[in-house]
Amino acid sequence: MTGTIDLETLSVTKIADGLSDGTFTAEALTEASLAQVAKLNGTYKAIIFENPEALETARQIDRRRAAGERLGPLAGVPVVVKDPMDMKGFPTTAGWHLLYSKTGGTDLMPGTDSPVVARLRAADAVILGKTNVPVLSHTGTHANDSWAGPTINVVLEDRVPGGSSAGTASAVACNMCVVGLAEETGGSIQNPASAHGLVGIKPTIGLVPNAGVVPLSDNRDVVGPIARTVTDAALCLDVLAGWTAEDPKTLAGVGKVPKGGYTSSLARDALNGKRLGLYGPGWRPDVLSDETLALYERAKTELEAAGAILVADPFAGTEFAELRKPTPPTSHFDGRGLESIAYDVDCYLKRLGPDAALKSWPEFVEAVSEEDPFSEGGVLSFLPSLADFRKAMEAPLSPPEMPEFMALKASYLTLLDKVFKHHSLDALVYPQMQYELPGLHSGEVILETTVGELNIAGTPGVTVPAGYYSSGAPFELIFLGRQWTEAELIAMAFAYEQWTLHRKPAV
């Protein structure tokens, strides 16, 4: 609670109602949010750059409302943006001290907003600032190596916060904002959302543009929302989704957004009669911890009580689990699809504009030469293990062919379709993590159940709170589906959320 505004219970809808009936102004709400940032950001290191224009944006919203102007769907809603997303007026550092002038590096100053940031502005959201990430968004576990210092988990301060969208999840969890932009290449929406007991939507690749976002892989990177409720995440996705000429792959998403938006099918009975596939060795042989199994069993009972029909291990007897191959020296992460990073970064740098300090991949390599991310001990040292990466680096400014990745993606999609049709499935529902969260500085990584499969296939997933371990660490489910089934997954996650109401305030 800050003044008369209860930040914990704020939602997009409550903000619209509060502004409409005069309960508070956008300026007062922004002041309360900034006060929360001032109070907690020193502890959690969620936001690395505060937006000095936030209050003026809020005042303009109030003036426009008073003048009877029509406002956007996120009018007055306090939001945050993940650091790798270009936002005019701020350096894009990707968490790396070599890409920030105040830590001895080179600033990447974008000439324009990324499309997702531009869409937030057009929706009249109040952007409070940019959030913390690990170097080059390389890990789904933490932000410990960021130049800004480690982000802290708001639910359990001695546990990892999830990454790479650690700062976004932390900001949402401690009520600095209502929703935040995250981005996933390998768990970076679902992991931090689950680590903080939040809702995360990882969209189908091509639904939301990721132009103007520092890439790990244009073949896998997706932008999506993190929020405290399914409804707020869905309303944010409404704003983010859609075609733009800046990102040609979004052409695939034309006609895929439901009429009426992603909240149009939300209902408490949305699980009734739905056939849901369960986690098992047919998907992946990794064993769940005893406590995870117990929590999953409880969740199954809740799903059945909500009317769902559960199908045990629908991938049994298929070759699905054999497709996943962790990339050495990692023991858990399948990096296929990241082979194009040099070409993707070159395209990103060209978009920064004519005044950018770095305009090409060769200039980027020179600027960060003292810490080669691909060398032994580097944050991306696994990439040279991929045969298609070596070939791509022989001509880094040319579009790579990546035949192994393309064949793998086709195999995943083909098997998903086959299994869904054979079992008449509506979705899959898994525990998002195999074990509870490791310690913040333990050196252990989050062991999830879907990273690689989900990211290589480019299919959607929605995480939702499903309880807590005895330690207090959050336990979450993830609803998974075929391409372009976000609306159905969101509806099922909403039904589960409303049926159980597991989430507890973090602060």
Contact 284, 251 (CB under 8 A): no
Q: Determine whether 82 is an active site residue.
A: yes
501 Cβ contact partners less than 8 Å away, ≥ 6 residues apart: none
The residues near 411 (Cβ < 8 Å, ≥ 6 apart) are 323
In total, the chain counts a number of residues equal to 507
- Residue 423, judged by CB atoms within 10 A of its CB (0-12, 13-18, 19+), counts as middle
Catalytic residue among 33, 137, 146, 164: 164
CA 139/CA 135 separation, integer angstroms: 8
Active site residue 164: yes
Chain centroid offset of residue 478 CA? 13
264 assigned to active site: no
Amino acid at 448: E
Helix, strand and coil content of the chain, in percent to the nearest 5, comes to 35, 15, 50
The two structure tokens encoding residue 8: 């914990």
Q: Which of 45, 82, 130, 202 is catalytic?
A: 82
Q: Which of the residues 33, 114, 188, 217 is marked catalytic? A: 188
DSSP secondary structure, 97-156, as one string: GGG-GGGTS-----SS--HHHHHHHHTT-EEEEEE---GGG--SS--TTSTT-----SS-
**Nearest Cα to Cα of residue 183 among 90, 95, 85:** 85
Which residues carry out catalysis? 82, 164, 188
